[in-house]
Amino acid sequence: MKIVCIGGGPAGLYFALLMKQQDARHDITVVERNKPYDTFGWGVVFSDQTLGNLQAADPQTAGEILDAFNHWDDIEVHIRCTTVRSGGHGFCGIGRKRLLNILQARCESLGVKLVFDTDVQDESRFADADLVIASDGLNSRIRTKYAATYQPDIDLRQCRFVWLGTHKRFEAFTFAFEETEHGWFQAHAYQFDGDTSTFIVETPEAVWRKAGLEEMDKEASIAFCERLFAKYLDGHPLMSNASHLRGSAQWIRFPRVVCRTWVHHNGRQPVVLMGDAAHTAHFSVGSGTKLALEDAIELARCIGRSGNDLARALADYEAVRSVEVLKIQNAARNSTEWFENVARYVNLPAPQFAYSLLTRSQRISHENLRLRDRQYVEQYEDWIAAAAGVQRAPTGQPVPPMFTPFTLRGTTLKNRVVVSPMAQYSCDDGVPGDYHLVHLGARAMGGAGMVVAEMTCTSPDARITPGCPGLWNDQQQAAWTRIVDFVHRSTDAKIAMQLGHAGPKGSTRVPWEGEDQPLAQGNWPLLSASPQQYIDGVSDWSRAMTRDDMDRVLDAFVRSTRRAASAGFDWLELHCAHGYLLSSFISPLTNLRTDDYGGTLENRLRYPLEVFRAMREAWPQHLPMSVRISAHDWVEGGITPDDAVEIARAFKAAGCDLVDCSSGQVSRKQKPVYGRMYQTPFADRVRNEAGIATMAVGAITDADQVNSIIAAGRADLCAIARPHLANPAWTLNEAAKIGYGGARWPVQYLSGKSQLERNLEREKAMAAQSAGLSPLEQANRAQGV
C-alpha cells in the first residue's frame, strides 16, 4: 500500500512507523512543512495508561520515549498562600521536540521517507497514493478543503493562554492561581526534561484585556507573567520559543475542534483525518498528543485486521475513535470550563478548591482519588466532616462526604442523599393512600437523609392527571399526616412536601395510558402565563392568567402551605420548573405577556416570587424552603444557565434557602445533552455564583458520584430518582458498596447488613481477580480514564 501522511507531527509519524513495522512492503511518506528536527512548543504530558498503550503498540519506540520522560506522581495546587498536594496521579512529561525526534529517527530506521520543508496545500499532488492521512494539525488545510464532508465544529474558548518555558524544575505538576486588580490568572507548570519545565499562563479574555496584555509586546508580557508568578519561579526567567509570533499573537484562545466524520473519498483515494486535524482536547487534561498517538494505533490496528478491505478498516477506525475521543473531549470541556470560570471557585476554602480542581473533568472521582492517594482523601474527608460538625466513627473510619449532615434553618438531614420527588399518579381524588405510605416509608427506611413527596397540587384544577396528589382539603391533609407520622416515628429521615400547579400541562392521562395526552373526558380548563399548547395539535390550549386568577392560585398555594405545616412536614419546596404554571411565567418560550408580568426576566419572575413570598410568610420560619427551577430550557431563546443564576439570586432575596436545579421539559423542541451527572453543572454554577445552597439532580447513580459532587462543593444535596425506584434502600446499599459501615440501618434490618457487606466484598474480589486489574486500573476503567 502506498501511504502519504501530510503533516509530520506525532499522529503522522507514529502511524507511519506502525504501518511500516506492520508490513515493510508499504511505501510510506511523511511530508512536513517545517525544517528537519524543528518544532515549536515545550513539553507534552502523558498518563501512565497512555504509556501502556504505546508499549503494547511498539515496545521499542515506547522504550525510547520512556527513557526520555520525566515522571511524577504528585499534583500541587497553590491558592491564597495555601498549598495542597496529592499523589498517585502517574504522569510523564517529555519535550515535544524530543518526542518528535524519537519518532522521526524511528521512522527513518524502518524505511519511512521523511520529506521536510515542504508546504502541502492539498493532497492532489499525491494522486497515486492508496491512502492519504491528513495529520496537518489544528489549522488543517485538508479539513478546510473538504469541510462539507468532515463538518468541523470549531469553538474558540474564552481564555487567552501563552505557552512558555522555564529552567525552574517543578517537582510536581503545579497549578498556581494569582489574583490581580483585573482578575485571576492561573499557571500550569510541569518539568519535562532534566532542566526545563513547561509554564502555561492562562486567564479569561476580559481579564487579559483589562491587564493591558493585548497592547504589550512579547517581552513585556513575559515580564508581566514573571512578576505575577515570581514566588513560584525562584528567580528563573520565563522563556518563549515561538519566535515566529509577535506581541499579543503569542496569547491564543484554544480552539476546540469536533468533526462529524473523519474520512473523505476524493474520487482517487480516502483522505483520513488524524490528530489535531480531527479533534482537539484542552491542554488542561493533557490529552492532545495522547489522542493523536492513539488515533495512529487504532487505524494501524484496524488496517492490520481487515485484510485488504480498506473501506471496512476506515469505517471501524472512525467508529471506535470517534467514541473514545468524544469521552476525552467531554472531560476536556468540563476541565476547560472550570479554568474559564476560576473566579467562581476561588472563594471556596483552599482544600475544597483543590479538590474541585482535581475532579473538575468528572473523570477523576472520589474513589479514584482514594486509590491514588488514600491519605490525602481521608484527610480531606476529615476536613469535610469537621466542617459539618462530625468526627470519625469509633472504628476510626472517615465519614464519606455523602454521609455528613446538612442543616438549613432548624432542620438537619443526617446525610446528603435525597429521594427525589417522583410522580406516581396513584391517588384517588388527590388522597395519598397505602401505596404512598409504603412508597415513601420504604425509602425513608432505606437510609436517605430526606424523602420528597411528588408534586402535590393546590386545587383540583392544578393537577397533572386525576391520579396526582393534592393538599386542598382535610381528607388529603389527614392522609399526608399519617405518612409524615410514620416517617418520623419509624425512621430518622426527614420528609419534604413539594407544592406545584400543572398549569398548561394539566388535565392529562396517567403516563401508562398515554403520557401528556389530554383526558378522553372530564377535562378541566388550563392556565398559563400566555396561551399555549404543550404539544402542538394535541394538548388542550391554556389561557393567560388574569389578575383574579393569580390571586386565586396564590391563595391556594398559601392554604396548602399551612396544611403542609399542620401535617408536620420538615421542609417545603415550590415547583417552578418543567413548564408547569409558575415555570410558564419564568421561561421566555412560554411567557409572551406584555404587561408587568412579561418581557424582562425580572418581570417574568414577578408572579412566581409573589407566590413564594406569600408561602414563606405562611411557612414556619424555623423550617427551610426550597424552589425547583429549570436551569436550562435546552431550546434556543429559552432559559440558560446564566439566567438560572439570576433566578436563584431573586429567590434567595425572597427568603429561599436552597435551589433544586433541574432542567428541561418546558418545550417539546428541547435538545438536552445527556450524560452522567449532566445537570450537576447547573447546581455548581448557582451555588458558587449566586451564593445559595443547591441540590443536584439528574443521572446521579452511585455513591462515588454523590461523594464527588458534595466534596467538590458543586452542590449541598443530591437528589436520586430512578435508582430509588429500583432499590428503596439505595443509600444503605451504596454505603456497603464503598465499605462504609457507619450508615444507620433500621434495627429490624440489621441482620442483613453484615451479609450484604460480605457479599459485596466477595463480588469485588472475584471481579478484580477475573479481570487481572489493579484497584486503580479498575477505577480508571470505570471512570473512562
Tell me what the mean pLDDT of segment 738-744 comes to: 92
Whole-number percent of the chain with pLDDT over 90: 83
Mean pLDDT, range 502-509, rounded to an integer: 97
Phi/psi of residue 698, nearest 5 degrees: 95, 105
The amino acid that residue 618 corresponds to is A
Q: What is the pLDDT of residues 320-337, one digit of tens each?
A: 999 999 888 888 999 999
Which of the four pLDDT bands, split at 50, 70 and 90, describes residue 38?
Answer: low
pLDDT band at 750 (very low <50, low <70, confident <90, very high): very high
Please check the confidence at residue 569 and state whether its pLDDT lies above 80: yes
Q: How much is the mean pLDDT over the chain?
A: 94
- Neighbour count for residue 156 (Cβ, 10 Å): 11
Which residue would you say has higher pLDDT here, 96 or 566?
A: 566
pLDDT at residue 777 in the model: 59
What is residue 420's predicted lDDT score, i.e. its pLDDT?
Answer: 98
pLDDT at 669: 95
DSSP state for residue 329 in the 8-state scheme? H
The answer to whether 14 is a known catalytic residue is: no
The string of DSSP letters for 677-720 reads TTTHHHHHHIIIII--EEEE-SS--SHHHHHHHHHTTS-SEEEE
Res 653: pLDDT: 98
Cell of 114: 521523511
Q: What is the pTM of this model?
A: 0.92
Annotated catalytic residue, options 14, 150, 355, 580: 580
Instruction: With a cut of 90, say whether residue 538 has pLDDT above it.
Output: yes
Q: Is the pLDDT of residue 772 over 80?
A: no
Which strands sit side by side in the sheet containing 91-95, from one edge to the other? 43-47, 91-95, 70-72
Distances (CA, A) of 536 to 409, 513, 533, 539: 44, 19, 6, 7
pLDDT the model gives residue 68: 83
Mean pLDDT of 440-448: 98
pLDDT for the residue 685: 97
- For 46-71, what is the mean pLDDT? 84
Query: Residue 640 contacts by C-beta under 8 Å, 6 or more apart in sequence?
Result: 632, 633
Model pLDDT, residue 690:
98
Question: How confident is the model at residue 43, as a pLDDT?
Answer: 83
Quick one: pLDDT band at residue 37, thresholds 50, 70, 90?
A: low
3-state helix vs strand vs coil in the chain, percent to 5: 45, 20, 35
Q: Which of 57-66, 113-122, 245-254, 750-759 has the lowest mean pLDDT?
A: 245-254
Share of the chain above pLDDT 70, in %: 97
pLDDT confidence of residue 243? 65
pLDDT-derived band at 765, boundaries 50, 70, 90: confident
If one counts every other C-beta atom within 10 angstroms of the C-beta of residue 711, the result is 26
pLDDT reported for residue 69: 81
Judged against a pLDDT cut of 80, whether residue 49 lies above it is answered with: no
* Distance between CA atoms of residues 464 and 458, nearest Å: 11
Paired residues of 457 in beta bridges: 470, 500
The answer on pLDDT for 13 being more than 70 is yes
From 244-258, 302-316, 447-461, the region with the lowest mean pLDDT: 244-258
Does position 433 have pLDDT exceeding 90, yes or no? Answer: yes
What Å distances lie between residue 511 and 424, 425, 487, CA to CA?
Answer: 9, 8, 28
Q: What is the rounded average pLDDT of the residues 103-117?
A: 95
Q: DSSP string of 262-325?
A: -EEE-SSSEEEE-GGGTB---GGGT-HHHHHHHHHHHHHHHHHHSTT-HHHHHHHHHHHHHHHH
pLDDT of residue 46: 78
Mean pLDDT throughout 393-401? Answer: 88
The answer to whether residue 137 scores a pLDDT higher than 80 is yes
Average pLDDT of span 575-585: 98
Quick one: pLDDT at residue 782?
A: 53
- Which of the two residues, 393 and 88, has the higher pLDDT score? 88
* pLDDT over 90 at 188, yes or no: yes
Q: Per-residue DSSP letters for 82-129?
A: EEEEE----EEEEEHHHHHHHHHHHHHHHT-EEE-S---S-SGGGTT-
Task: Note the pLDDT of residue 783.
Answer: 52
Lowest mean pLDDT among 200-209, 345-354, 699-708, 768-777: 768-777
Q: Are 530 and 592 in contact (CB under 8 A)?
A: yes
156: confidence class by pLDDT, cuts 50, 70, 90: very high
pLDDT band at 241 (very low <50, low <70, confident <90, very high): confident
| pLDDT at residue 41, as a whole number | 66
**Could you tell me how many residues make up the chain?**
785
